[in-house]
Amino acid sequence: MKINQKLLGKLYIVPTPIGNYNDINHRSLIILKKVDLILSEDKRKTGILLKYFNIKNKLYSYHEYNEKKHSEIIINKIKNGYNIALVSDAGTPLINDPGYRIVKLCRFENNSIKIIPIPGPCAAILALSASGLPSNKFCYEGFLPNKKSKRLNRLNELKLEKRTLIIYESKHRLLNSLNDIKSIFGSNRYLVLAREITKKWESIYGDTIEKIILWIKNDKNRLKGEIVLVIDGLHNNIYNEIPEESIKTLLILKKYLPLKKAIHITANIYKIKRNILYTLFLKNKY
């Protein structure tokens, strides 16, 4: 059956602040006021946001557990002229949040429904922009698997990735994940930990994985909040390729031999250039 384009509503993808309510843009506020319905991941959280800006509108619960069931209902509403806004709890919808199914239905299943994305906050992009790591090419990974074995398998697949990596992590798993990253990527890979972006306690701290772990252990408050990890790609740092075992060997030899001799022996064992090993030793002040 041919769809009457004039009768169709529109689907707006509307980002919301990830911390500071003042980050919402004027266009988003206008859309949230004028649409017929707002699809909300958490009606309570979205309700607080709307109340803050004195917006009164209808909220419809739409999250990962009911997305499949409710998508067809929403599509039919849009076909009947409803203009609908899709929001997540915070940030840009669909970035590790529900919404893919409804957008796909609008786009690909002969519905020809117009999708209008609105620019706005995204924690991954904000962390990348402040990381100081190459941003012309990057790889967004989302959350690593919960289970340790699966997490290690995924990290093994990523360890040769040359692009900057962006990973989300929860405060409860952060140290476990960092230790797993260290075991696969090596202790000297550079990493930026961005925490509570745009919020009062925002911090963006970069160092080697080894030192980031120590930095967190020195103050457990650094485990709190929403966390983004931005990890240097393999090709960006010549020292990433140095095996962790070689450093351990060097430190053992250093106890009994002059530094120059210890480096010479270690370099021969692991087939590493002596000047690289020497620079790495001085850089990290072992």
Query: Over its length of 286 residues, how does the chain's per-residue pLDDT go in tens digits?
Result: 445 556 789 999 999 999 999 999 999 999 999 999 999 999 999 999 999 999 999 999 988 888 888 888 999 999 999 999 999 999 999 998 888 889 998 988 666 899 999 999 999 999 999 999 999 999 999 999 999 999 999 999 998 898 999 999 999 999 999 999 999 998 889 999 999 999 999 999 999 999 999 999 999 888 888 999 999 998 655 665 677 788 889 889 989 999 999 999 998 998 888 888 887 777 665 5
Long-range contacts of 27-33 (CB under 8 A, 24+ apart): 27/118, 28/118, 28/120, 29/53, 29/55, 31/85, 31/118, 32/57, 32/85, 32/87, 33/57
**What's the distance, CA 282 to chain centroid?**
32
Contact 46, 117 (CB under 8 A): no
- Considering just the CA atoms, what is the radius of gyration of the chain in Å? 24
pLDDT at 245: 81
Measured CA to CA, the distance from residue 142 to residue 107 in angstroms comes to 24
Q: By CB neighbour count within 10 A (0-12 exposed, 13-18 middle, 19+ buried), where does 208 fall?
A: buried
DSSP character for 38? Answer: E
pLDDT at 34: 97
In single-letter form, the type of residue at position 169 comes to: E
pLDDT at 5: 59
DSSP character for 11? Answer: E
User: CA 195 → CA 19, 70, 201, 283, 285, distances in Å?
Assistant: 11, 34, 8, 26, 27
User: CA 164 → CA 231, 265, 266, distances in Å?
Assistant: 6, 33, 30
Measured CA to CA, the distance from residue 73 to residue 76 in angstroms comes to 5
